[in-house]
Chain A
Amino acid sequence: MKAEYLMRRAFYSFLAFMVSLTLTFVLLHLMPGDYLHSILPYLAEKNPDAARMFREQFGLNRSISEQYLLYVVNVVRGNWGYSFLYGLPVLAVIEEKLRWTLVILFPSTVLSILIGMAVGAYSGWRNGSKTDLSVLNFMIFVGAVPSYWWAMLLILIFGFHLNLFPLGGYASIEALDVGVRISDVLRHAALPVTALTISSVPGTYYLMRNSTLQTTGEEYVLTARSKGLREMEILRHHALKNAMLPMVTVIALELAQMIMGSVFVETIFSWPGLGLLTFEALRVRDLPLLQGIFLMDTLMVIFANIAADLSYPLIDPRVKVGENV
């Protein structure tokens, strides 16, 4: 049962990956004009011979289906092409940048989940109260403001006016002499992490508030009240764990949004991660690199989903791996 389930799960993940792979391929070929033209404009006019060699070299002279097959085989083999911008294998570039992204993405994901869940649980439990309504309105406001706006506001206040944190980058200029120190990087990461956290708290908050709200009418909550427990004890010991169950799967999906947000935040803070890379790749039309980034984002979301799926049975005793909902 368990093995069969994991197989099925792996198969679906693979399917999702293939779909996004195909999508990138199709999208690129739907772009107006020649692929060669979009990466090296006017090469064909100026030097037809070079263009022909180029086409042969990169397989652009073959049929679409052949190109597709070649593309899939290469991607699966780990050959994601070369970045024009860096002149390096796409995968190598991405790998390096991914680490930097994780430095801000991981803490802000954890923080936004913790904050969103705690505030959401309280708000949902006290639903309709003054606190709930003011928190709800506040969150609606926070959620309506885009992440880059928060990023700029933070830079302005804490970087520029108060001069508490650096304005951007990942290390101070002294790093050239003394090397990159962790404390220095953390100081640089503080504002980007905060910006990303602020912009993703509302999402988790809404979900958790709703989920907690739904437990308030449950019969086991009535039982807990009849035992003489305090409201906050009932929330902590009884409602919270139940309210978290539906969250697990949704949080994995939220990651996609966080990745989106990180593009803006990293660009504004010049944080050398995947987000900034996306921006640069877009700017100079580094198509292989963009393709690679897109695939990497897909992979991250797929893995987050698998992780959510596997952790679900750990928190819900009714579900064993393989007997999933």
Chain B
Amino acid sequence: MSILAINDLKVQFPTPEGLVKAVNSVDLELEEGERLGMIGETGSGKTVLGLAVVRLLSGAEVEGNIEYRGKKLLLLDEAEMRKLRGREISVIFQSPNSLNPVLKVGDQIAESIRLVGCSNRQDAKKKAVQAMEAVGMPDAELWADRYPHQFSGGMKERAMIALGLACDPRLIIADEPTKGLDANIKAQVVELIRDVTTDKSLLFITHDLSAAAQICDRIAVMYCGEIVEVGRTEEIFANPLHPYTEGLFRSLPIMGMKAIRGASPSLIDIPSGCRFHPRCDRPCENCAKAHPPLVEAESSPGHLMRCFQHDRG
């Protein structure tokens, strides 16, 4: 059974400059216990997609269908939705400013725990300390009484993970939890996320392809608010089919750091036809005119992609 099913999801922001089409007809399914990586350049709509699931976008027009374990999230009222946040679906944000600077870290975690019905302040605090221990924080009892500014970047991210896990949710949405950490710490955090999510469903949003490879069963690639390729992690890495995915791999340091030419287009003025055609290495005539559908590659079942030349061999 799928834990999350997104159908024809559209998210738009009306702005003075025009309508920002941040997510365009996204279909995506996440199986119970599955971990899905979501990669793509900055501004491709990853965060917006993640926040749309928990309905935390402000000023957005959201259309389509999001089903969480059979519940149509977009139809729930605010109180029902609130009950899902944190205890069923939690979000792990990228850390620097995501913790409240004037509250003790332990109290911020305890606050979540108290929401799920642990009314005793002391017990909640104890559980918060346990949650901090569970993410490998030494002297958790001590650190629970400290403020975010006393934490290092890596510690803060651990605290965010502890917060995200505090109420034992089924689905976790992690939005670039490793951003801005140095390599050493990043590796530890990636390992931690992998370990603590083994029995959970995860939507892992990241720029970090190797982190996605270490954690995720499947990978979805986003471009201009669309999914352009999705498939099993090994498949995507061994056999990327979409020119954009190839471009992403080529821009990795170990692959020669060749950036994709051009810049990602504004989501107000999205290119016609294939959205990637102005930047594509080998567009055909059709590419500028028609919009390619997301189809299964003949050569590898379960591997979907959105390109006219997908089976070129």
Instruction: Report B's interface with A, CB cutoff 8 A.
Output: 54, 56, 82-87, 90-91, 93, 97-103, 111-112, 115, 147, 149, 160, 163
Residues of chain B lying within 8 A (CB to CB) of residue A225: 56, 85
* In the complex, A42 has a CB within 8 A of chain B: no
| Chain A residue with the shortest CB-CB distance to B95 | A219
Is A219 a contact of B85 with CB atoms below 8 Å?
Answer: no
Is A226 a contact of B100 with CB atoms below 8 Å?
Answer: no
| Chain B residue with the shortest CB-CB distance to A217 | B58
9 extra A-B contacts, CB within 8 A, seeds A227-B111, A237-B103, A316-B102: A219-B98, A220-B98, A222-B56, A223-B91, A227-B115, A241-B103, A245-B102, A315-B102, A317-B147
Contact of B100 among A228, A230, A238, A315 (CB under 8 A): A238
* In the complex, A2 has a CB within 8 A of chain B: no
| Chain A residue with the shortest CB-CB distance to B166 | A227
Could you jot down 5 A-B contacts, CB within 8 Å?
A218-B97, A223-B99, A226-B86, A228-B83, A228-B87
Residues of chain B lying within 8 A (CB to CB) of residue A222: 56, 93, 98
Tell me the smallest distance from the CB of A240 to a CB of chain B, in Å: 10
Residues of chain A lying within 8 A (CB to CB) of residue B83: 228
| Chain A residue with the shortest CB-CB distance to B92 | A226
Is B149 a contact of A219 with CB atoms below 8 Å?
Answer: no
Is B100 a contact of A227 with CB atoms below 8 Å?
Answer: no
Q: Once bound together, how far apart are the Cα atoms of A229 and B79, in whole Å?
A: 10
Is A226 a contact of B102 with CB atoms below 8 Å?
Answer: no
Given A228-B83, A228-B84, A316-B102, do A219 and B93 touch, yes or no (CB 8 Å)? yes
* In the complex, A46 has a CB within 8 A of chain B: no
Residues of chain B lying within 8 A (CB to CB) of residue A230: 82
Residues of chain A lying within 8 A (CB to CB) of residue B90: 226-227
Q: Once bound together, how far apart are the Cα atoms of A241 and B100, in whole Å?
A: 10
Is A238 a contact of B103 with CB atoms below 8 Å?
Answer: yes
Residues of chain B lying within 8 A (CB to CB) of residue A315: 102
* In the complex, A318 has a CB within 8 A of chain B: yes
Tell me whether chain A's interface is mostly helix, strand or loop, or mixed: helix
A-B contact count (CB 8 A): 69
* In the complex, A13 has a CB within 8 A of chain B: no
Given A222-B93, A227-B111, A227-B115, do A318 and B101 touch, yes or no (CB 8 Å)? yes
* In the complex, A115 has a CB within 8 A of chain B: no
Residues of chain A lying within 8 A (CB to CB) of residue B56: 222, 225-226
Is A227 a contact of B97 with CB atoms below 8 Å?
Answer: no
Q: Once bound together, how far apart are the Cα atoms of A228 and B54, in whole Å?
A: 10
Tell me the smallest distance from the CB of A231 to a CB of chain B, in Å: 9
Tell me the smallest distance from the CB of A246 to a CB of chain B, in Å: 12
* In the complex, A224 has a CB within 8 A of chain B: yes
Q: Once bound together, how far apart are the Cα atoms of A78 and B101, in whole Å?
A: 45
Contact of B149 among A223, A238, A318 (CB under 8 A): A318
Is A229 a contact of B115 with CB atoms below 8 Å?
Answer: yes
Question: What mask results when residues 53 to 91 of chain A are scored 1 for a CB within 8 Å of chain B, else 0?
Answer: 000000000000000000000000000000000000000
Q: Once bound together, how far apart are the Cα atoms of A238 and B93, in whole Å?
A: 17
| Chain B residue with the shortest CB-CB distance to A216 | B58
Is B103 a contact of A226 with CB atoms below 8 Å?
Answer: no
Is A318 a contact of B85 with CB atoms below 8 Å?
Answer: no
Question: What mask results when residues 226 to 265 of chain A are scored 1 for a CB within 8 Å of chain B, else 0?
Answer: 1111100000011001100100000000000000000000
Q: Once bound together, how far apart are the Cα atoms of A197 and B224, in whole Å?
A: 55
The 3 A-B residue pairs with the shortest CB-CB distance, nearest first, are A228-B85, A228-B86, A220-B100
Residues of chain B lying within 8 A (CB to CB) of residue A218: 97
Given A226-B54, A226-B90, A227-B111, do A220 and B85 touch, yes or no (CB 8 Å)? no
Is A241 a contact of B102 with CB atoms below 8 Å?
Answer: yes
| Chain A residue with the shortest CB-CB distance to B146 | A317
